Structures are given as C-alpha cells and as structure tokens.
Structure 1
Amino acid sequence: MSDPILGMVMLGSFILIVLLGFPVAFTLMAMGVGFGYLSLEARVFDLLVQRTYAVMANDVLISVPLFVFMGYVIERANILDRLFHALQLASRNLPGALAVATLLTCALFATATGIVGAVVTLMGLLAYPAMLRAGYDARLASGITCAGGCLGILIPPSIMFILYGATAGVSVVKLYAAAFIPGFLLAGLYMVYTIGLATLRPSMAPKLPAHMATASGAQVVWALLTSFFPLAALIAAVLGAILAGLATPSEAAAMGSLGAILLALAYRALTFAKLKESVFLTARTTAMVCWLFIGAYVFTSVFGWLGGHHVIETWIVEHLNLSSLGFMILAQVVIFLLGWPLEWSEIVLIFVPIFLPLLDNFGIDPIFFGVLVGLNLQTSFMTPPVAMAAYYLKGVAPPQVRIQQIFAGCLPFVGIVILSMTLLYVFPHLALWLPDYLYGTAALPAGEPVDAIPEGGFRVDDLVPALPSFD
C-alpha cells in the first residue's frame, strides 16, 4: 500500500473510531503512532517525544490555563445573578427585556469565561426558569440561552483563537482584533431578532413585571455600578492591554486571573473551597487541551509525512477546480458537518490544519479564515443531532421541557450565524479592518510570540532536521 493511500486510510479510520465513542486525544496518538510505525518504524517514537515536549514548551499555550482559571473564578464569585438582575432593570423598556438581558449577560459572561458548558448551564439555572415563569415560549427561551452561551467561542479573549493561532502560526493578537467586530455583530443580530420577534409576537416574550418596569433611575445605576461595570472593566482591561500591544495574551491572562481573584474578594465570594475547585477544574481543562494538542501534533505530522495533505490538496485544486468562493463554501460546510460528532477543539486541532495549506492557493487570509471558522463553530453547539449546548441546557431545564423544543429554539439562531458568515464574506473588512488599522501588515505587536508552528499545520518533513534519527 502506497503512503498516500495509507494516509487516507488513517484519516478514515480515525473518523470511524471517534464516531464509535473512543477518547479523541488518545485515539489521535494511537493512530499517529500506529500508522507512523508502518512507514517510519521506531523513528515515530522520536516524533512522539519531541511533539510532547514542544507542546509543553509552547509559550502561546500559557494563556490557556490562565484564561480558564479567570473564567472559573468569576463563575464561582456569584456575579452572574447580580449581573442578570442589573441588566433586566437596564433593558426594562425594551420589548422582550428579559430575553435581551439574558443575551447581554451571556455575551459579557461568555467573554469573561469562554467556557460554553459553564455559561449555558449557569444561565439555564438562572435566566431560563425566569423566562419560563414570565410566560416566554419555551423554544425562544431555549434558543436565547443556548445561542448566548456559545458566544464565548468567538468573542475575545477566546481560547479557540489561541489554539487556532498556535495551529496556523498566526498572531493571536491579530485574531482577537479581527474577531472583535464580528463577535459583537453576531450578538447584536441575536438581539435584533429577539426584539423584533417580541414586538411582532408579544405573547412569546411578555413584558417585565410591573415592579421591575417601574424601577427608578437611581436603582438602575446602582445595580449596574455594583455588577456590570466591575466585570466590564476587568474584561476591557484584559482586552485593551492585548489589542494595544501593552501585553501578550499570556501576560494579560495572568493579570485577568489576578483581577478575577480581587473581584471575587470584593464580592466576599472567594473561599478556599471555591479557589481549590477553580484550580482543579483549570488543571483538568488544561490537561484535556494539552493532550489534544499532543495527539493532533502527532496525527497531522504523520498524516503529512504519508502524503495525506498532498492528496487532499491535489483533489481540491486540480480535480474540483474550485474558485475562492467555492473553496470557502466547501471548507465551511465540512466544518459545519464535523460539528455534529466532534467538539470545536478537535475540529480546530485536527481538521482545520488540512485546509490551512490551501489558503495561499485561493488567496485567503488565514486570519479571515480563522474568524469564519469561529463563527461556524457556533453552529456545532446548536445543530441537532449532537448539539452540546442543547444537552447542557436539557440537563438543568424543568422536566416538562423536551429536547425537541430546545432543538427547535436553536435553529433560528443557527440561521443567524449563517447570515453573519455571509455578511462577513461579502464585507471582509468587518474582520480585517481593525487588525489592519491597529497593526497594519508589519511585524507582530509588541511582545507577541513568534510563530510556534509552521504555516499550514504540522508536517513531519518540516521537523526532519530536528530529529537526528531521520538523517
């Protein structure tokens, strides 16, 4: 069997085994080592050791545990209920005020945490029952909670862009700048849809109770000062330091973690038990990400060595004869479909690198492509049959709410995501204007780490000089 055929068998076997329910990270390593041994023999173990060390020594990934820790501390500081109440009061005169407050809370809290499961679960416990008690349609309430909770994948500081930046070898700072406008555009479209629906069909989103609708201006200001502004200031400081080039993502994440601890102390919500739990959850999440990275390094390196990338590149470029638009549609459709059985981290680390070497052929900016991927990954959490956000919500929803109602509520928001992707492709400056304005096409912002991974993903032939046994 020739090496390219072996590479395609390797890719197909991996997809089949993952669909059977085996752990993705260890399946990646097993497939990489197993198929690599058929071609490289014992030298594949040198590759495994080197790639494991490269992950642990990668400076770009330091920000992952720091941002995760920041999110878990904020999550356990009991800020969410204060924030939700304050935003209800602030939006009390809008149609569907409770839904708008839910989306605003989700957007801000998702920005602070970036952990989809945590945001959907917490809002499912806090905002979702409140909407149902207020007479909201269960489908609309479900869609709002799920869609809002997924915004943390896209809105900076997103962990997804850290992994994409390390994979594609592009600046995380520029990715954050590029995602800023599209992220809040998507959140804005969610709110426009919700307000419009509440205006046209008020029975689906009734008004707030009278005692909240008549709150005084002083009450609203005090509620915002004690909940919204402290968290917003922390997020603005972290993002501002990154976008202004004053700190790398890792440095800003460290300061954000410290700020989260101080904020929790100010709210008298930080206990040793909560701090211990935050550290444990951070270690668990970071370990998962690192093992995925190691598995992806090994798998894609062996896949590239076997010629799998070349087979796909030849098929797309020469046989399909796609235009730039055709390639973008194909790539996004594949990523959309992969979102059914796979998590976003697995898609970014395993399958996105297959498309990265083709971007130059079609003249596509990898930063622009990364933002499109970030938008697309919103759908992976909301599209049946494997819509993880829906299952997170079902786990905490009242028993009378059926999973079919949650799926039905998510589908209009999936359509809004597709609309956002279309707008972004038609108006690419929505993503490219801010990084071009702030940084131009020159060097990376001050303190930004150099590219850790060769552009186009991981290939063993890129690593050959570093492995003496390959000489």
Structure 2
Amino acid sequence: MTDPQIGIMMLAVFILCIFLGFPIAFTLMALGIGFGYFAYFDAGRMWRGYERLVEQGEQGWQVWQAYIEGFVNNRIFDLFVNQTYSVMANEVLTAVPLFLFMGYIVERSNIVERLFSTLYIAARRVPGAMGVAALITCTLFATATGIVGAVVTLMGLLALPAMLNARYDQSFASGVICAGGTLGILIPPSIMLIVYAAATGTSIVRLYAGALLPGLLLAGLYIAYIVIRSIVQPSAAPKPTNDEVGDVPLGKLLVMIVTSFVPLAVLILAVLGSILFGLATPTEAASIGALGGLLLAAVYRALTWERLRESVYLTLKTTAMVCWLFVGSWTFSSVFSYLGGEQLITEFVTGLNLNTLTFLILAQLIIFLLGWPLEWSEIIIIFVPIFLPLLEIFGVDPLFFGILVALNLQTSFLTPPMAMSAYYLKGIAPPSVQLVQIFKGCMPFLLFVLVAMVLLYNFPQLVYWLPDTIYG
C-alpha cells in the first residue's frame, strides 16, 4: 500500500471507531501515534546505529540498548508533545474556559426566569406571545452562554411547562425551545466560532462580527414563523384569556425590564462591544464576562458556594474535552497530511470539476451528514481542516465558510435521529411529550436554516458588511 492509501485507511479506521463508541479524543491520539510511528519510522537509521556500534567493538547490552533506543526514538512522540504544548499555549483557546464559566454562572443566577416572564408580559398582545418570548429569551441566553445543552435544558424547565399550561401544541412548543436553544453556536460569543478560529487560523474578531447579522437573521426568521403560524393556526398557540394576560401597569413593567432584561443586555454588550470595537481581546472580554456573571449572580442573591463549585467543575470538564480534542486532532491531521491523505482528497475533489456553488453544496452536505453521529466540536476540529486546502482552490473565504458551517450545524442539533437538542429537551420534559412530537416540532425550523443559508450565499454582504464597516 502507498502512503496516501494508508492515510485513507487511517481515516476509515477512525470513522469505524466512532461508530463503535470509542472516546473520540483518545481514539484520535491513539491512531495519530500508531500510524505516525509507522510514517516516521526509519529502520535504516536504526540499523546503521547498530552496525556502527558493532564496528566500534561494542558488545552485549550496550549494543542492544542502542538498538532499542533507536526503535523508541520516533519523531511522532516529539510531534505529540509539541502539539500538546501548542494547544495549551494557544491564546485564542484561553477564552474558551472564561466564556464557559460566564455561561454556567449566568445559567445559575436565576435571571432567565425573570427575563422570560418580563418578555411574555411585554409581548402579550402579539400572536404566539409566549413562543416569541421563549425564542427571544433563548437568543439572549444563548448570546450570554453559547452552550446549547444549558439553554435547551433551562428553557425546557422554565418555558415548556408554561407554554403547555397555556394550551400550546406540544410539537410547536418543543420546536421553539429546541430551535432557540441551538442559536448559541452561531450568535457571538459562540464557543464554536472560537474553536473554528483556532482550528483554521481565521480572525476570531472578524468571525464574531460576521456571525452577528446571520444569527439575528435566523432568530428573526424563527420569530416570524412563530407569529405567522399562530395567526394561521390559532390552535397551535391559543390567545391567552383576559384572566391569563392580566393588567400590568406600565411602571411595573418598566421596573421588571430594568431588573431582568437590562443587566443581561449590558453584560452582553460589554463583552461583544469590547471585542468588536477593539477595546479588548476575546480573552480579555471573556474575563469581563466571567466577572460580570459573578456580579449578576451576587446581585440576584444566587451566588452560593455550591453553584460556584458546580460552575467551575463544568467549565473544567468542557474545556478539558475541547483541549484534548485539539491535541488528538492536530496529531491525527499532521500524520494524515504527512502520509498524503489530505493531498489525495484534494486531488479527488478537484477532479470532480466542481464550481464554487457545487463545492459549497457538497461540503455543507458532508458536514450535515457528519452532524448525525458527531458533536459540533469533533466536526470543527477534525473534519473542517480537511476542507481548508480546497477553499483556496474554489475561491471561498474561510470567514464566509465558517459562518455557513455555523449555520449548518444548527441542523445537526435538530435533525433526527441524532438531534441532540431534542434529547436534551426530552430528558426534562413532562412524560406526555413524546420524542416523536419533539422531532416533528423541529422540522419547520430546519427549513428556515436552509433559507438562511441560501440568503447568505446570494447576499454575502450579510456576512461581510459588519466586519468591513468596523475593520475595513
């Protein structure tokens, strides 16, 4: 077998291990070191060292010790150590634990429940008011956390029972929660975009600026769907009765907005504004966000030792997972590229005579399919770098490609049979809500993800306008 064929076999073994359920990070490291040992093994140098010692008159254990050292002294081990150090010293990845900590501490500050109640009262005259309030709350909370599981779970505990009590259709209510909860991987400060920036070398600042309008566009499409369906099909989102709506004085409503919406909005604007306008690096802004999350929790009297310890534990757990994935992925991809597997894939794709549009469709289709068995982190860290050499060939900007990928990955959380958002929601939903109903509710929102992707391709200024306006 040639080296490129061995590289393709390496990729095939990895995919097989995924389906067998092996831990992905450690599988990547094991395959990278195993195949890398073969790739970098130099039998001739080992034997030359052995023969030189024999010629010099060395005998016995010294000769065999040199032979064993030559067998063990393989460049893959140096590569593995260097990749581990590079990940730990990566300044972009330093922002990951800080943003995660901000998200987990905000999740436990009891602000989301107040925010949802306030938005529902403010929008009570709008068709599908509770669904609109739930989606806006999801959007704001996703902006503050970037953690899909946390948003879906918390909103499922707060908003789903309230919507069901208001006689909302179970599928419709479930779809709103699932779709709104996934916006965190697109809207800044998204953890996914930080990981993409680190994996591809793209500017995280421009990525954040480029993702803001598409994220708000998708959220706007979701809200429009909720309102229109509530008008066309009133049984899906019945209008509240006079007793349910109540009469909240304007002054009280303003106080509720000031105490629930404004603090979270100020925190989000402080973090995003400091990044987008160059006042702070993403890491520094994440530090501001983490401190702001602690202050919010203290103000709302939710900062307990138990919650702080839990937030730190979850932050360390998720950060370790991301970092070890990077170590394994970079070791795996370095060996894969050294064997010629990356070049073989590039030659195969270029041999298909694709144009830019068909290449983008093919790439997004592959990422869509990968979203079934894999998490977004594995897709971004492992498979997206394979597409990078092809982007220059087909004239695709990595910034634009990254935003399309972030949009596409919304579908991986919503598409059966591996729709993680649906499983998150099912885990905390009332027993009457069936998984099939949740899947059914997610389907219409998938259509709007596709609409957003088509709009982005036809109007790329949705991505470029804000970065070009701010940074030139």
Q: Is 1:220 aligned to residue 253 of structure 2? A: yes
CA shift for structure 1 position 20 = 1.2
Correspondence for 2:301 among 268, 271, 274: 268
Correspondence for 1:68 among 100, 118, 130: 100
CA contact (8 A) 1:116 1:153 kept: yes
Letter in 1 for 2:349: I
Q: In 2, Cα distance between the equivalents of 1:202 and 1:378?
A: 27
SS at match of 1:60: coil
Show structure 1 runs of 4+ deviating over 2 A.
208-216
In the alignment, which residue of structure 2 is the partner of 1:334? 366
In the alignment, which residue of structure 2 is the partner of 1:190? 222
In the alignment, which residue of structure 1 is the partner of 2:289? 256
Correspondence for 1:122 among 154, 164, 172: 154
SS at match of 1:69: helix
- Which of 209-218 and 32-41 deviates more? 209-218
Letter in 2 for 1:283: L
The residue correspondences of 1:199-348 to structure 2 (distance < 5 A) are 199-211=231-243, 212-317=245-350, 319-348=351-380
CA shift for structure 1 position 35 = 1.1
CA shift for structure 1 position 39 = 1.1
In the alignment, which residue of structure 2 is the partner of 1:448? none
Q: Is 1:92 aligned to residue 113 of structure 2? A: no
Higher gyration radius (CA) = 2
Q: TM-score, normalised by structure 1?
A: 0.92
Cα deviation digits, residues 292-336 of structure 1 (max 9, x gap): 11111111111111111101110111x210000000000000000
Letter in 2 for 1:221: L
Cα deviation digits, residues 433-464 of structure 1 (max 9, x gap): 11011112xxxxxxxxxxxxxxxxxxxxxxxx
CA shift for structure 1 position 209 = 4.3
Cα deviation digits, residues 390-448 of structure 1 (max 9, x gap): 000000011111111111111111111011001000100000111011112xxxxxxxx
In the alignment, which residue of structure 2 is the partner of 1:450? none
Q: Is 1:362 aligned to residue 387 of structure 2? A: no
Correspondence for 2:135 among 96, 100, 103: 103
Residues 332 and 137 of structure 1: CA distance in aligned 2, closer, same or farther (over 3 Å): same
Q: Is 1:12 aligned to residue 21 of structure 2? A: no
SS at match of 1:67: helix
Q: TM-score, normalised by structure 2?
A: 0.92
Q: In 2, Cα distance between the equivalents of 1:65 and 1:208?
A: 42
Correspondence for 1:403 among 406, 419, 435: 435
CA shift for structure 1 position 216 = 2.3
Letter in 1 for 2:300: Y
CA shift for structure 1 position 219 = 2.4
CA shift for structure 1 position 213 = 4.9
Q: In 2, Cα distance between the equivalents of 1:210 and 1:179?
A: 40
Unmatched runs of 5 consecutive residues or more in structure 2 = 42-73
Q: Is 1:82 aligned to residue 114 of structure 2? A: yes
The residue correspondences of 1:147-186 to structure 2 (distance < 5 A) are 147-186=179-218
SS at match of 2:94: helix
**Over aligned residue pairs, what C-alpha RMSD do you find?**
0.8
Q: In 1, Cα distance between the equivalents of 2:429 and 2:31?
A: 39
Q: In 2, Cα distance between the equivalents of 1:387 and 1:165?
A: 25
In the alignment, which residue of structure 2 is the partner of 1:132? 164
In the alignment, which residue of structure 1 is the partner of 2:29? 29
User: How many pairs were matched up?
Assistant: 439
SS at match of 1:352: helix
Unmatched runs of 5 consecutive residues or more in structure 1 = 441-471
Q: In 2, Cα distance between the equivalents of 1:131 and 1:263?
A: 27
Q: Is 1:39 aligned to residue 39 of structure 2? A: yes
Q: In 2, Cα distance between the equivalents of 1:124 and 1:266?
A: 25
Q: What percent identity do the matched residue pairs reach?
A: 62
In the alignment, which residue of structure 2 is the partner of 1:144? 176
In the alignment, which residue of structure 1 is the partner of 2:48? none
